[in-house]
């Protein structure tokens, strides 16, 4: 090989080596949802939750337990006779995500992103009202604390709807007709980044079978008060309804899963 060809080959190899050294590092693995909570109604019962708020005022002993596991579902019964400790409203709810049979529960803290998925059955007897009827809440734990996010059944101009609102600033995330979701199973996918001021975000998806009923999200919103965020499920409704919609009813939940983004 001639001297000139050796020089050219050396230069080429040197260039390749230099290029190899300069290759960018492999990107870090993308964040992904990690399943951290997957209770079974038949196996875990009410032990799936941090707390159970079943007739806190002992207003209707004959109806107890209002909240219980039945087969693969959690059932929340509400009677017109039921009263909460504030007697202008009714409440049968569970809170939090308990991990196992001990005292461990999952804490949703500022800066974290969480997701819960589940299926709910809303019978036609569980109607939207002119005042609040919440079937899921995100709250700061503690007596008297305000809700952060609410999934509610609300009458709007006489029409029954289901909606998601950011309660801190009274921001509507999304709303859709409730009637098509009565007496059938609806899949819920709720995601929240816990953030103060404008650091939070939410996404709310409802599906009926293979059909996406609604898929709405908001970023740059307030989803934190103090301490932590704790989810609640069940029926929490005002007795101030003016539409005549309050009656004995129930709510079923199943296939509850909790994910943390990591």
Instruction: Report pLDDT digits (tens) over 102-157.
Output: 678 999 999 999 999 999 999 999 999 999 999 999 999 988 788 999 999 999 99
Residue whose structure tokens are 């939750």: 49
Instruction: Report pLDDT digits (tens) over 214-248.
Output: 999 999 999 999 999 999 999 999 999 999 999 99
- pTM above the 0.85 mark? yes
For 132, other C-beta atoms within 10 Å of its C-beta total 18
**Local structure of 7: helix, strand or coil:** helix
Domains belonging to the chain, first-starting first, are 32-261 (2.60.120.200)
Q: What is the pLDDT of residue 4?
A: 41
Instruction: Report pLDDT digits (tens) over 24-55.
Output: 555 566 889 999 999 999 999 999 999 999 99
Q: What is the pLDDT of residue 143?
A: 81
Residues 6+ apart with CB under 8 A from 85: 56, 57
Q: What is the pLDDT of residue 16?
A: 40
For residue 122, the 8-state DSSP code is B
Residue whose structure tokens are 């059938």: 184
If 0-12 CB within 10 Å is exposed, 13-18 middle and 19+ buried, where does residue 92 land?
buried
Four-point Cα dihedral 11, 15, 21, 24, nearest 10: 180
């Amino acid at each position: 090989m001639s001297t000139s060809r050796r020089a050219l080959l050396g230069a080429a190899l040197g260039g390749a080596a230099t290029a190899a050294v300069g290759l960018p590092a492999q990107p870090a693995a993308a964040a992904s949802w990690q399943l951290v909570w997957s209770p079974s109604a038949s196996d875990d019962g009410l032990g799936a939750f941090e707390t159970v708020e079943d007739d806190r005022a002992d207003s209707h002993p004959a109806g107890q337990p209002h909240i219980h596991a039945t087969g693969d579902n959690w059932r929340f019964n509400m009677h017109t006779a039921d009263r909460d400790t504030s007697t202008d409203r009714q409440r049968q709810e569970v809170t939090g995500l308990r991990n196992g049979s001990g005292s461990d529960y999952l804490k949703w803290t500022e800066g974290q992103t969480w997701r819960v998925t589940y299926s709910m059955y809303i019978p036609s007897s569980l109607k939207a009202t002119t005042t609040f009827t919440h079937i899921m809440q995100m709250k700061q734990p503690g007596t008297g604390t305000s809700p952060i996010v609410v999934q509610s059944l609300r009458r709007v101009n006489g029409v029954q709807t289901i909606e998601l609102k950011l309660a801190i600033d009274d921001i509507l995330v999304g709303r859709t007709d409730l009637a098509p979701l009565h007496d059938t199973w609806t899949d819920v996918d709720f995601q929240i980044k816990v953030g103060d001021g404008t650091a939070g975000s939410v996404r709310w998806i409802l599906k009926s079978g293979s059909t996406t009923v609604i898929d709405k999200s908001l970023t740059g919103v307030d989803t934190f008060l103090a301490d932590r965020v704790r989810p609640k499920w069940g029926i929490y409704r005002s007795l101030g309804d003016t539409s005549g919609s309050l009656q004995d009813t129930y709510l079923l939940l199943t296939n509850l899963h909790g994910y943390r983004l990591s």
